[in-house]
Amino acid sequence: MNSVATTFCAAKPEQPISVSEDIDALLEELLEDDYSNSPQPKTEPFPKGPKTEKLLWSHSGGRKCCPVFIGGSSVTNGVGTATSKRSCDQLRCTSCDFQVLMFDDSEWDVSCDYLFLRYKDLHVFQLENPTRVIEWTSEKTVCVAGYSSPRNEILELRLPLKLFADENKGLCAERDFKVVHGGFTEGPVRHLRHVPGSRCAVTNDGRSSDLQVWDLGGDDSDVIRRAGSVEGRSVSDTGSRIAARLSAPPQVLHGARSSDVQLTQLTSGQTLCKLDTDSAELLSSLQFVSDSVFLASCCNGCIYVADTRTSAAPQRSTPPPRSGDSVCWWSDASIASQLSSTRIVRLSSSGDMVVTDLRNLGGIVSQAQLDVQTHPCQLEDVSVSWSPVLDGCIAVSGFDGVVQIYNTRLWRTELQDAQPLFQHCGHMVLSEQTAGSAPIVVTSHLWHPERPRMLLSAASDGSVHVWDWVEPETTGDL
Amino acid sequence: MPEIKVTPLGAGQDVGRSCILVSIGGKNIMLDCGMHMGYNDDRRFPDFSYVTQNGRLTDFLDCVIISHFHLDHCGALPYMSEMVGYDGPIYMTHPTKAICPILLEDFRKITVDKKGETNFFTSQMIKDCMKKVVPLNLHQTVQVDDELEIKAYYAGHVLGAAMVQIKVGSESVVYTGDYNMTPDRHLGAAWIDKCRPDILISESTYATTIRDSKRCRERDFLKKVHESIERGGKVLIPVFALGRAQELCILLETFWERMNLKAPIYFSTGLTEKANHYYKLFITWTNQKIRKTFVQRNMFEFKHIKAFDRSYADNPGPMVVFATPGMLHAGQSLQIFKKWAGNEKNMVIMPGYCVQGTIGHKILNGQRKLEMEGRATLDVKLQVEYMSFSAHADAKGIMQLIRMAEPRNMLLVHGEAAKMEFLKGKIEQEFSIDCYMPANGETAMVTTNPSVPVDMSLNLLKREMALGGPLPDPKKPRTMHGTLIMKENSLKLVSSEQALKELGLNEHQLRFTCRVQLQDPHSDPDTLHRVYTHLKSVLKGYTIQHLPDGTVMVESIVIKVSSSAEDVNAKVLLLSWSYQDEDLGSFLSSLLKKGLPPGLC
């Protein structure tokens, strides 16, 4: 709680803390139907509060904490030293110099979304049905699709124009999603890829390896139509992973297991190349890292690197060490920038995260143990992705109801515990679901390709949030 | 087959000047009579010449129903009733009846007094028009005449907004007007029972929109106001007198109380004050929470919000002012705007839509230099914020309402239809009903299948039961004979004898006779016998009798033989049958025309 307060003070110095907090408390009160019996605020525990030792230099009092510990009121307060770990009781805001207040045995009310403070923009939407996929189809539009009923919708949504209005933002009142195109699918949609440079999307239902091809429609119509299908090579009950690259005519790389990965031309259905391997490991993702090089990541943690131009055997990396107790691994490759070559991150179901370099898949660049719930309810919900802009930043979701952002540049080659740089808890906090129903799980997240801190995330209750968070100025960077 | 016809004169694939004609069971109803705020030529009002080229509308319309007081739903009312001519009843809810004339008068002032337009309705016309209004209560069934009845349901959206069910016999149509399926700060959510109308006419303003949460919206509003007050600026909120203004007042009032803020909040005199008064009066039309807390504290009894005086605008220090009109085209809001525009610390928050040509529209388009009357220019330095708080049902809300009412057909108006093919498909697939989106002047026709109740006499029923087995099998149609009598407003089915008796008529029998010529070299009785044998062999299963009086009877058909005087061999068969035996009779005649087979003895 205190660390959030400090985070806030650093981020939004011009407002005393009470202001915005009160707005939300007020909104909340007004939202409640009956406040006649509300002297006692609900104090459900805030489920994923940053629990932390974040290091900060205190400037107050005669003695100074060294190092500084920040903790809840359950921890003894006082001056902290290396031997007696006490949480600092003399915190002051680094910007306004106001003292940070503490309240014993109090927690943020779940409904009190003080988290609003940490966002430049936050838009909260409710879809009729939850989505597992969010995919950019153009600069301002994304595609989402349902998975929960026998018949589902696939929608192309235009993001709120207010987000993109740089000058005169105040003049833009348009803060809603607009359904620009929509269509109906016969089954659930578990995976969806937009083929860059086309108006074409490819989906998979998670039950077979077959793919469905969709025409997203042009300006003259608002209907998304089924344009064909691609038959998969294997009988699979986990569904195909799909990757696409800029190509004309459109092509997609797809497969359910490492043995049946193939590149197929959508119009002709012709197989252009196949991954040459005998092992049939389940795939967790497929991804192009350049025009012709792609990665096939397997659930057991190993990764195949292959080139569509040659038929040579792919390079195979072994799973990271300590993978024995992990059920599953997910991975993502960063886009090579000037600062670094392509990095690959692998995340295990037990919260191990390992960063390696594409050129040396055996070696470890850095690693950490994440602060996540290590028994995810739905393995298929987990996703990990590199920020396309912020160097070394990674977003992780799917373990529970939050999206976490980690900065891997702070990590070293030895294993350590990692604290998130930022957590988006909005899906849990703002959910209208009543107690007793299944806990909310973030089903998908997506970085904006250019705006450094803008993400979209979707959760199992059908909520979709678009958020642009404010980077805390002091993050305890050592 | 009976049909229901729906023709939008306004709001067909369009937003503004809602006006929809419905023709149901021989009745013609006009739903809403709005004006288009974006035009000041002919396109402003609906084209009533569609109803009649010349003459008054009274002869063609059974009633007019107004859904709520927004001018795009009632703005053309005085024009229609007083200038075109309509003397029939105009139905609207109590709050609409109270507020509608204020808004019409306000609008008339702006158009005639400020803009100097002529050929517009006068104050007297508004008064005369309102005299024709019949107020409606929620869920009260009103008989317009013997056959036509209407019933209002709560629609949210604005105070007094209603959805109406129009019913003639077993046919019905529901018109939603504008509605909102989620409760807001001062109003509840729309509700309707499972009335299964033949057509549900729904607005679709936000049909392709997924709304950002109300919470994020409100938070941004409070934050903006607070920021400006903190730096000592003045905040102007030009509002349309009713609706959002009250919602924002409640929001700010509570915020001020909570934050213990001292900066004064004013609203412009007259209109809004009066409007707040109406809200207090019609507390039953607000949402549950306001109603529940009403006894302890009336939400519209504001503590921090006071009436504005024009001299206050020059007071130093921060303040918030709600002023009308909402588009900064005239009046108090424009005066205050002119005073405050030069200071960048100040702020104007536009909570709604602005028509082209108004100052509001110009500043929302980023214009920073405004030309005022007398060649003066005004530099706009203050901060301009645009926020939309309008409350309409989105796609989810429309689907919810369909689920509630279970209509047999769907018709969408008040939305841009060009991009609603997906929604149409969605409705058609999910509910297996047809969805129409007629343009202005286009007619959507829906065939209905109304059930017509008929009373059957007990005697007839007993007789039929005796004939065809015990109880009627509901799954099998059975032919029966009887006479249908339409008397007054009822239908009844009786036996023909009873019908004759009741109506005092004599029974007539209709018989067909026909002559068939045959060449047959036998005596007349022999020929008859040959006919008898022939028929006996052809018509198996029929009663055929050779009677001693020289006739052959097939069922009730009589056949006689006579020979002509000139030619003994030329025989003439005389056939005679009653109307009931037409089928058999005509068969026999054509059979006998073919002649008798030679081998008969």
**B 329-358 residues with CB < 8 A to A:** 350
pLDDT surpassing 80 at residue A191: yes
CATH of the domain at B347: 3.40.50.10890
Task: Find chain A residues with C-beta within 8 A of B289's C-beta.
Answer: 33-34
Interface probe for B, chosen from A14, A26, A29 (most Cβ of B below 10 Å), is A26
Q: Lowest-pLDDT range, A59-63, A393-397, B228-232?
A: A59-63
Q: Per mean pLDDT, which range of A270-279, A353-362, B142-151, B236-245 is the poorest?
A: B236-245
pLDDT at A358: 87
Q: Does residue B600 fall inside a structural domain?
A: no
Residues B184, B80, single domain; the answer is yes
Asked if pLDDT for residue A60 goes beyond 60, the answer is: no
CA distances from B9 to A64, B35, B36 (A): 78, 11, 12
Q: Are the beta carbons of A467 and A460 closer than 8 angstroms?
A: no
Query: What pLDDT does B462 receive?
Result: 82
* Domain membership flag for residue B356: yes
Using a CB-CB cut-off of 8 Å, the residues of chain A touching B400 are: none
* Number of domains, chain B: 4
Assess whether pLDDT exceeds 50 at residue B198: yes
Q: What is the mean pLDDT of residues B277-293?
A: 79
Q: Which whole number is the average pLDDT over B317-336?
A: 86
pLDDT, position A391: 87
B358 shares a domain with B483 = no
Q: Which residues pair with B24 in a beta bridge?
A: B27
Tell me the percentage of chain A whose pLDDT exceeds 70: 77
Residue A447's pLDDT band, with cuts at 50, 70 and 90, is very high
Nearest CB neighbour to B210, from listed A23, A127, A173: A127
CATH number of the domain to which B565 belongs? 3.30.530.50
Which residue from A120, A194, A103, A149 is spatially nearest to A422, judged by alpha carbons?
A120
Q: Are residues B315 and B427 in the same domain?
A: no
pLDDT-derived band at A435 (thresholds 50, 70, 90) equals low
Q: Give the span between the Cα atoms of B34 and A177, in whole angstroms.
A: 29
Is B137 a domain residue? yes
CB contact set of B36 (below 8 Å; sequence gap of 6+) = B10, B16, B17, B43, B44, B45, B72
Q: For residue A69, give the amino acid letter.
A: F
Going by pLDDT thresholds of 50, 70 and 90, the confidence category of residue B232 is: very high
pLDDT at B417: 65
Rounded to a whole number of angstroms, the distance from the CA of A248 to the nearest CA of chain B is 29
Say if residue B358 is in the same domain as residue B489. Answer: no
B361 falls in which pLDDT band (50, 70, 90)?
confident
Mutation target vs B (from A29, A114, A124; most B CBs, 10 A cutoff): A124
Which range has the worst mean pLDDT, A5-14, A227-236, A463-472?
A5-14
Question: What are the pLDDT digits (tens) for A296-334?
Answer: 999 888 899 999 888 788 888 888 876 556 678 888 888
**Res. A473 pLDDT band, cuts 50 70 90:** low
Q: A478 pLDDT band (50/70/90 cuts)?
A: very low
Would you state the structure tokens that stand for residue B597, as one six-digit string?
Answer: 């087979």
Give domain status of residue B188, yes or no.
yes
- pLDDT above 70 covers a percentage of chain B that reads 95
Q: Across the interface, which of B255, B292, B383 has its CB nearest the CB of A170?
A: B383
Neighbours of B169 (CB within 10 A): 17
**Does the beta-carbon distance from B386 to A151 stay under 8 Å?**
no
pLDDT at position A323, please? Answer: 55
Residue B261 predicted with pLDDT over 50: yes
Per-residue pLDDT at A46: 40
Comparison of pLDDT for A200 and B481, the residue scoring more: A200
Looking at CA atoms only, how far is residue A29 from chain B in angstroms?
A: 10
In this complex, the residue of B185, B216, B384 whose CB is nearest that of residue A124 is B216
Nearest to A170 among B212, B385, B425 (CB): B385
Same domain, B414 and B490: no
Residue B361 lies in a domain: yes
The pLDDT value recorded for residue A39 is: 38
What is residue B2's predicted lDDT score, i.e. its pLDDT? 86
Q: Which domain holds residue B489?
A: 454-471+478-503
The region of weakest confidence among A292-296, A340-344, B61-65, B202-206 is: A340-344
Quick one: B161 and B225 in the same domain?
Answer: no
pLDDT of A322 reads 66
User: Is 80 exceeded by the pLDDT of residue A255?
Assistant: yes
Residues B266 and B338 occupy one common structural domain: yes
Q: Which of A20, A29, A124 sits opposite B212 (nearest CB)?
A: A124
**What does the pLDDT read at residue A9?**
35
Percent of chain B whose predicted confidence (pLDDT) is above 90: 34
Specify the pLDDT at position B299: 67
Strand A211-215, strand A200-204: pairing: antiparallel
Separation of alpha carbons B337 and B378, rounded Å: 10
Q: Which residue of A has its CA nearest to B368?
A: A168
The distance of A170 to chain B (nearest Cα, Å) reads 4
Residues B84 and B8 in one domain: yes
Instruction: Report the pLDDT averaged over residues B525-548.
Output: 85
Q: Provide mean pLDDT across the span A66-83.
A: 74
Residue B229, token pair as written in the block? 């007050």
Place of tokens 């590199």: A386
Whether residues B28 and B87 share a domain: the answer is: yes
Is it the case that residue B307 has pLDDT exceeding 50?
A: yes
Chain A contacts of B288, Cβ < 8 Å?
33
- A333 forms beta bridges with A344
Q: For B495-534, where are the E strands, in sequence order? A: 511-519
How many helices (H) and strands (E) are present in chain B, helices listed first? 16, 31
The span from the CA of B562 to the CA of B574, in Å, is: 8
Residue A34's pLDDT band, with cuts at 50, 70 and 90, is very low
Which pLDDT score is estimated for A44? 39
Asked whether residue B248 falls in the same domain as residue B361, the answer is yes
Could you give the angle at the alpha carbon of B187 between the alpha carbons of B183 and B190, nearest 5°? 60
The predicted pLDDT at position B328 comes to: 85
| Cα distance between residue A379 and residue A299, in whole Å | 10
In this structure, is residue B601 part of a structural domain? no
Cβ contacts below 8 Å, chain A against chain B, sum to 117
Minimal-distance CA residue of chain A relative to B383: A170
Amino acid at A15: Q
- Complex confidence, ipTM: 0.75
* CA B325 and chain centroid, separation: 31
Answer left, alpha or beta for residue A331, where phi above 0 means left and psi between -120 and 50 means alpha: beta
B120 and B238 part of one domain: no
A58-72, A291-305, B162-176: segment of lowest average pLDDT? A58-72
Selection from A236-245, B17-26, B457-466 with the highest mean pLDDT: B17-26
Q: Give the model's confidence band at A130: pLDDT under 50 very low, under 70 low, under 90 confident, else very high.
A: very high
Instruction: Select the more confidently predicted residue: B517 or B94.
Output: B94
List the single range of A287-301, A428-442, B585-599 with lowest mean pLDDT.
Answer: A428-442
Q: What is the mean pLDDT of chain A?
A: 79
| This prediction's pTM | 0.77
How many residues would you count in chain A? 478
Q: Which residues contact A96 (CB under 8 A, 6 or more apart)?
A: A9, A13, A16
**Which residue carries 């928050």 as its tokens?**
B349
Under the banding of pLDDT at 50, 70 and 90, the label for residue A110 is very low
Q: Which residue of A lies nearest to B213 if distances are taken between CA atoms?
A: A124
B326 plus B460 within the same structural domain: no
Q: What is the mean pLDDT of residues B532-553?
A: 85
Cβ of A182 within 8 Å of Cβ of B422? The answer is yes
B599 falls within a domain: no
CB B509 within 8 A of CB B500: no
User: Does any domain span residue B281?
Assistant: yes
Task: Please indicate whether residue B203 is annotated as part of the active site.
Answer: yes
In the set B3, B147, B149, B203, the catalytic residue is: B203
Mean pLDDT along residues B311-330: 87
Pull the structure tokens for residue B547. Answer: 């009677």
Q: Is B385 at the interface with chain A, CB within 8 A?
A: yes
Q: CA nearest A155 in B: which residue?
A: B422
Touching check for B395 and chain A: CB below 8 Å? yes
Q: Read off the pLDDT of each residue in A428-440 and give the average, rounded to a whole number.
A: 75
